[in-house]
Structures are given as C-alpha cells and as structure tokens.
Amino acid sequence: MNRWIKGFAVLLLAVLVACGTDDSADQNNGSDKPTLKVVTEAGFMPFTYLDKGEVVGFDIDLLAAVMEEAGYNYELENVGWDAMLLSVEQGDADLAIAGVTVNEERKQSYDFSSPYFESTHKIIFRSGENITSGQDIKDLKVGVQSGTTGAEAVEKILGKNADNISKYDSNTLALTSLQSGDVDAVVTDNVVADEYVANNPEADVEMISDPDTFESEYYGIMFPKGSDIKEDIDAALQTLIENGTYAEIYKEWFGVEPDTAALEQ
Amino acid sequence: MDFRFDIIVEYFPFFMKGMGLTILMSVIGVLMGCILGFFIALGKMSSVWIVRLPFVWYINFLRGTPLLVQLFLFHYAVLPTVIGETTPVISVIVTLSLNSSAYVAEIFRAGLQSIDKGQAEAAHSLGMNKFQVMRHVLLPQAFKRSIPPLGNEFIVLLKDSSLGAMIAAQEILYWGRAASGQYLRVWEPYLMVALLYLILTLGLTYLLNYIERRFDVK
C-alpha cells in the first residue's frame, strides 16, 4: 500500500514539474505579447487534418505565418468540433481555425477575421444522373455534411431542413452514402470534392460546379465576441496576402495560384 | 453566456418530428429484440454443442463490437448485399433489433436458469412434456424475474438509437446536430436533445415500474 502512495506522489510531482517547465519556456520566448490558445478540429482535409498524429494542413501553415507576422506565440490544440465551438464562445480559447465559413448566423455568436480563403461548392453525383446545374438537384435526395455551408446552399434550393436532404456527420459518410445509393448527389466544397474524386478513381461519379447557383463562400478565423486580438490578426493576414506569403502557402497545398482579389480588404 | 431560445423555438417542430422517429425505431427495436432474443436464448441453452455454437457466436459478435460499427456495417455492407436496398431508418431498426436481441437473450437465459431445477423435475414427473414445462412452469417465472434487467435494456436501446444520426436517420440527435451546425452553437441544441431523451427515458422508467408492480404477485 505504502509503495502505491509513494509511486502516486512521484507521478504527481513529475506532472507538476512538467507543467512548470512548459510555462516558463513560453515566457522565455522573448515576446511581450501573450501566448494565444488556438483550437481546431483536425478533420477537414486539406485545411486541418492529422498526419501520423500531427495536426497539419493549409490552415495550420497559414496560422503559423499569421502568428509570426503578428508577433504572437501560440499553442495549438486539436479539441474536436463541439469543444472548439464551446471554448471559443466562452473565451477559453483565443481563436479557432478549421476552415470555418463565415455567415450572418454565425456572426451573431462569434467574431470572424477578414476572409482568408475563397471556396465554391461542387455537386458530385452518380454517373448517369442528368445534372447540369444546381437547380437540377431539386427533386433528388441530396447528402451534405451537417452544419456546413454546403448544407446551407442545398437548403436554399430544396428548402430549409427539407425531407430529401440528408445531413451526415462528415463528408466521408455523405460520399459513402452516395456510393451506396442512399442519396443521389452530394454538395460539398470544391476542395473536398476534388480530393474525393482524385482518391476514388473507381467510384462511378461525376461532378460539376455551378457559380450561378452556388455563391462563393469565405473561410475566416473565429474569435470570441469582442476579441481584442482580431485587429492584429487581420492586419497580419493582409500583409501576408500582399507580400505573397499567402500565395506561397496556397500553392504549396493546392498546386495553383490563388485569386486573392476577393480577400484583399 | 447568453442562451438563445430562438434556436430552440425554430427547431422545435423538427425536434418533435425527430422524437416521433426515435420512439418508432425504439419500440420496433425493443419488440423485435425480445422476440429474437427469446429464440436465441433457447438456442444457446441447447445441450447439443453444434446447435449451440452459432448462437454463442451471434451473441459474442453483437455484444463484443461497438454498436456504431455494427450500424455502419449493416447500413453500408450487410443490408445492401442481403436485401438489396435499405434506408437509414430500416438500418437503425435492424441494427437495434439484432444488437438488443443478443443482450435480451442473455437476460432470458439468466432468468430461465435462475428457476430451481427441482420445479422442472417436479413438472416432468406430473407428466408434462418439455414444451408444457417451459410454457406453464419456467417461462412465467423467468419472465417476471427478467423484467427489471429488460427495462434497463430498453432504456439503453432508446438512447442508443441516437447513433442513427451518424447515417442521417432524422431522429432527435440528428436535428440537434442540424441546429448546432447552422448556428455553430452547442448549448441550446444539445440541452434540448438531453431534455427530450430524459423525458422519454423517465416516461419509460415509470411505465416499467408500473409493469413491475402489476406482475408482482407477492
């Protein structure tokens, strides 16, 4: 019994010491600006996802560049979607980046940075389905990822929470259900759609984009309401877009030059 | 922290729709689970090992793998292969029925085996055959003893039906997630979801208490 208590005490001490050294390391980093707590949900390839346990992606590289430009230290933690929302809303985290699209409803609960990514939607459907524009999905069963702007875009066509919209937990499940025949089409971000088609050459699907039906969406960094670091981050973001660092990161992840006209403020 | 009642108000009709589906899926799941479970219990109690074996492994598989994984397997692989076409609701009902049948089988088996052997022997010596012993002596007593654990299983099954949200069966949690996704808010939708499940399970608890009293002959 005694041995157990001793062992536990040693363990506790080790944890305390480990925490202590962590803190002091942050403070020694030479900046008078505070260390920001950044949260994400690493489940949105290629923006933020796990590669052998490490959080990587376009968002993560951009985050590093923005933080350096703005002169902040930061700690990044992959906490999952709901926990991410809660900790930003309650101000436990200073910001979140996870390919979050900015819209009016979300602005009621959070502050957002100026847009850092422009995205459009694509319709993926089983070959043979006669779909040439966004309006053609009106009478079909359409799958989306719950809570995404793809879901919202489809609701504009089929009606809010319409019966023939199926909201899935992830894009992967929505696309699997497309293959299994649960739904006739899936609407999702162009990046996700391209990635899926490239990775599943045997899937008998086609995809189209329709700029007339689907307006561009913009991703933003999410802050708690009334955040005082938003200005710094926005300024750093603009600098990166103007000096070409943004284009560099973009090209690295998506292989093409970005059109930054819409992102410049 | 502010609490936005407007989100709950907006989604209330959807939550009610979802509650209907949750009840429907759970009730069918419970009934099918009980019927199947009874026969599986009998199968597992067979004295011939080759008869017993498939039932043993049926129970092993369904109790030994996560329900969510079973749901994915049945929805995306097994049911499309076996019956050609499935809907999320059918898949949830089938998965719940099969899963709960494994647990119910063990509950029935425990109930049957808890009846003293002497009773069956006595009934046999009165000239009853195996079927009559089961029907008139063992089952009524075993069923009474099975009611509390069965009630527990029903409550678990009711809550487990929420996994249907993962394959877009439009039950309570599905609408909670939809509301959460639209506003990127967690408290309002999930508190509502929690409240609705609480109402359902409490209702079920009182119903079960009533049934337990009804069957209590003492």
Q: What is the pLDDT of residue A6?
A: 65
Are A86 and B186 within 8 A, CB to CB? yes
- Shared-domain flag, residues A190 and A246: no
Backbone angles phi, psi at A7, to 5 degrees: -60, -45
Tell me how far apart the alpha carbons of residues A84 and A98 are, in angstroms, rounded to a whole number.
9
- Shared-domain flag, residues A109 and A165: no
pTM: 0.77
Residue of A161, A175, A179, A223 for testing the chain B interface, max B β-carbons within 10 Å: A161
Judged against a pLDDT cut of 90, whether residue A8 lies above it is answered with no
- The tally of domains found in chain A comes to 2
Tell me how far apart the alpha carbons of residues B44 and B57 are, in angstroms, rounded to a whole number.
10
Tokens 């930003």: give the residue. Answer: A88
Burial A24-35 (b: 16+ CB within 10 A, else e): eeeeeeeeeeeb
- In terms of phi and psi (left: phi > 0; alpha: psi -120 to 50; beta: otherwise), the region of B16 is alpha
- The answer to whether residue A152 is domain-embedded is yes
Q: What is the pLDDT of residue A80?
A: 86
B75 touches chain A (CB under 8 A): yes
CA distance B36 to chain A (A): 28
- Shared-domain flag, residues A16 and A104: yes
Tell me how far apart the alpha carbons of residues B186 and B180 are, in angstroms, rounded to a whole number.
6
Q: What is the pLDDT of residue A171?
A: 87
- Shared-domain flag, residues A20 and A106: yes
Are A169 and B166 within 8 A, CB to CB? yes
- What are the chain A neighbours of B187 within 8 Å (beta carbons)? 86
- Shared-domain flag, residues A28 and A156: no
Are B181 and A173 within 8 A, CB to CB? no
- The answer to whether residue A261 is domain-embedded is no
- The answer to whether residue A264 is domain-embedded is no
Nearest by CB to residue B185, choosing from A85, A152, A180, is A85
A44 vs A126, more confident: A126
Tell me how far apart the alpha carbons of residues B167 and A198 are, in angstroms, rounded to a whole number.
24
A184-223 tens-digit pLDDT: 999 998 888 888 888 888 888 999 999 888 888 899 999 9
Q: What is the pLDDT of residue A249?
A: 96
A44 touches chain B (CB under 8 A): no
Contact B182, A82 (CB under 8 A): no
Show the tokens assigned to A259.
Answer: 């059109």
Nearest by CB to residue A147, choosing from B167, B181, B187, is B181
- Shared-domain flag, residues A65 and A163: no
- Shared-domain flag, residues A17 and A91: yes
- The answer to whether residue A203 is domain-embedded is yes
- Shared-domain flag, residues A44 and A59: yes
At residue A7 the predicted structure's pLDDT band, cuts being 50, 70 and 90, is low
Q: What is the pLDDT of residue A26?
A: 44
- Shared-domain flag, residues A126 and A114: no
Are B80 and A180 within 8 A, CB to CB? yes
B14 touches chain A (CB under 8 A): yes
- The answer to whether residue A259 is domain-embedded is no
Q: What is the pLDDT of residue B43?
A: 95
- Shared-domain flag, residues A188 and A247: no
Q: What is the pLDDT of residue A28?
A: 43
A46-78 tens-digit pLDDT: 899 888 889 999 999 999 999 999 999 999 999
Q: What is the pLDDT of residue A52?
A: 81
- The answer to whether residue A233 is domain-embedded is yes
Q: What is the mean pLDDT of chain A?
A: 87
Judged against a pLDDT cut of 50, whether residue A24 lies above it is answered with no
CATH number (domain holding residue A128): 3.40.190.10
Tokens 């996870």: give the residue. Answer: A98
Judged against a pLDDT cut of 80, whether residue A180 lies above it is answered with yes
- The answer to whether residue A55 is domain-embedded is yes
Nearest by CB to residue B166, choosing from A105, A110, A173, is A173
Q: What is the pLDDT of residue A98?
A: 94
Tokens 């996802």: give the residue. Answer: A49
Are B180 and A82 within 8 A, CB to CB? yes
At residue A15 the predicted structure's pLDDT band, cuts being 50, 70 and 90, is low
Is the bond into A258 cis (omega within 30 degrees of 0)? no
Tell me the residues of chain A between 127 and 186 that have a Cβ less than 8 Å away from chain B: 143, 146-148, 151-152, 161, 163, 166-169, 173, 176-177, 180-182
Last residue within a domain, chosen from A209, A229, A246 = A209
Judged against a pLDDT cut of 60, whether residue A27 lies above it is answered with no
Beta-carbon contacts of residue B25 (< 8 Å; ≥ 6 apart): B89, B92, B93, B96, B161, B164, B169, B171
- The answer to whether residue A2 is domain-embedded is no
- Shared-domain flag, residues A87 and A156: no
Q: What is the pLDDT of residue A199?
A: 82
Nearest by CB to residue B183, choosing from A86, A105, A148, is A105
- Shared-domain flag, residues A106 and A132: no
Please give the residue range of the domain that contains residue A39.
8-118+218-254
At residue A224 the predicted structure's pLDDT band, cuts being 50, 70 and 90, is very high
Judged against a pLDDT cut of 70, whether residue A2 lies above it is answered with no
Residue of B184, B186, B188, B190 for testing the chain A interface, max A β-carbons within 10 Å: B184
Judged against a pLDDT cut of 70, whether residue A12 lies above it is answered with no
Intervals of chain B under pLDDT 50:
none
Last residue within a domain, chosen from A175, A191, A209 = A209
